[in-house]
A and B are shown apart, each in its own frame.
Chain A
Amino acid sequence: MMLGLVLLPLLAGLAALAIRARRLRELLLLGTALLHVALVAAAALTRPAAAEGAWLALDDLGVLFLLVTSVLFLAVSFYAVGYLRREPEQQTDPEEGFLFSNEPEPTFVACLLLFLASMTLVTLSRHLGLLWVGIEATTLASAPLVYFHRQHRSLEATWRYLIVCSVGIALALLGNLLIAGAAGPAGSLGLDDLLARAPGLRREWLEAGFLLVLVGYGTKMGLAPMHGWLPDAHGESPSLVSALLSGALLNCAFLGILRVRQVLTAAGDSEFAAGPLVAFGLLSMGLAALLILRQPDYKRLLAYSSVEHMGVLSFGVGVGGVAAFGAMLHAVVHSLTKAALFLVAGNLLGAYATKRMAAVRGARAVVPASAALWVAGILALSGVPPFGIFLSELTILRGAAAHDLVPAALFLLFLGIAFAGVSAQALPMALGGDAGGRPRMREPVTRILPPLLLLAFALLLGAWLPAPLVRLVEGAARLAGGG
């Protein structure tokens, strides 16, 4: 059952390479996505008991992130069908005007499926080494996705993404090895036996291992100051890829850190992790909020907002208690909102062919549905109530305010600065006056339905949390927050 979840997209990806007919390939993509969601839902409901020490198993944390990843992948694949069908072979670059062609479609679809397979592997693995292999595989699978538009800027972004992330993940490998070493020569990286022998581990190596894993997977997760690669990768890759990158991949990287935090908690040393997590959280939020103020390009703006929200996650888990529950909820809701926003950004890019926010005005008249979604998404991102992010950020604040007010005040200050920066430039795009004489464009369903559904789901989570989901998030919070 578990292996099936990983193998399905893997095999589909390899098959996609072979298929020449576009329609058949699209069918394969959609079919796999639907089947994957079905399997994950079935697994989440039935929760098959995994044997002790098994390499692939489902626990609350894994299920939560896997659910988000597969739902997101379904939405993105539905969007991708429309996107690929309309994407011309040869097109001119909006910024610098040279001609460039795209990556051949089969490789793009194959890499998408491999990307899903690797992310599934990460969420399911109960072995830290296997987890590392999964995360490295996500990097390798997503590199060609970022390089979809064959032109020098996305090439440079891909190179940076590959090098920075690989170095980061290699550091994480070093961390994993240190953790294994902490259990003495016979140490293994299986999560279950690490948890079992946790009190006996050599404390100093375990802590050094956690810190290296935190920096390593933190690079992949986009925590500041290791976030350098994120704005370029998101800015240059097609919007549906950045949706997957921001929505699903960053969560998986965070999962890596949480797994090691589980080991620390089992060793009775969970307080050790609180300090660095809160520090990285606040640093990311502060740096991202300030950089957002001067960002002229809306896709890079969303990327920096991802850095900030990863900071919120790290801060929430660091504070622990109720805030951990808020952080887990925030991971889910942020992924949904950010993915929807990236898809809508893709629509706006399609309509206005420029990424500079100052050049986009009056979207309300040109692409009304996307403009409405864009405004709703921006407000949702900034924590306006009916949407889920307000709820999660308030829960995190509630946890933080129980201790002392200074970190909570900083938390709110950075959110405020980011809100001012984002709303100052993003809202006039939709509500602004003259549309520069652009005619009203037809917006296909495939471009509007996915972001609409994702935002609707985020809105639902803001107003009504279904009971099973609450249990799931509580379980995940207990595992992650050093309960």
Chain B
Amino acid sequence: MELVLALLLAPLLTGVVRRTKAVVAGRRGPPLAQAYRDLWKLLHKSAVYSRTTTAVFRAGPVLGLACVGGALALVPAGPAPALASFPGDFVLLVALLGTARFATVLAALDTGSSFEGMGASRELGFAVLAEPALLLVLASLAQATGAWSLVPVLRATPEAELGAFALLAIVGATLFGLLLVENARIPFDDPTTHLELTMVHEVMVLDHGGPDLAAIEAAAMLKLWLFAGLLAGVLLPVVAPAPLGVAVHVAGVFAVGVAVGGIESSMARLRLVRVPQILVALVLLALLSWVLGPELAALS
């Protein structure tokens, strides 16, 4: 269910984020559906492949998109269950994101250019800390709600006491931080910059063009939707049955989009050296949520 929603509405979410940034900056900003047109344009362009590249370069974007799709299949959309749900499925989710990253890094290294190598090196640097943080956060959620699969975890209606609220605050903050890191948003990486030296994610896809670039853009959008969906699932208690609940969930996702737009326009990019420190902070937050989980549950 989330997969279908994402395929349809993900470009819209990116549009919302861009629109929020424009409005905050006092501009009208591009039309909301601009992302759809970009994808359509790219799909119909030809591609230029570098001579040094091999099949890995061509497989990168395609595998990346497939993996993010697979990950989305595991996430529930509010009340609606996910396509596949089993104990420990969020471990598979994190691992699929890892596979996508592995494919993108290899594709970048295949071009043999120094910029793409730099992007790959930074991406690996960030991933080493981001992955365990995401894993720990989802695990602490599972520990707090006593379930092992994403669907029951996100559907569990946290009681409104003080303890549960505090736990949700910590988990929400960590998830939001991870969203910014994984999707290369402002404080960690600038998606719109043109100076290669400052890029991380964008510089890895420098040499891709035409349909490959379309696949990469789509994968990025779906990933944004995935994280926003997770965040919405955690924060919004599931109150209503299917149709209404899903609508609330979608609204939540767009709210997260607006929040991302707000953050992006209010902060500048951090120096590259500072990023690992923030990541370590995120990991510690995840550990904190883990340790505090039982006490907070006992408190409420």
A contacts B: CB pair < 8 Å: no
Taking Cβ atoms with an 8 Å cutoff, the residues of A that contact B are none
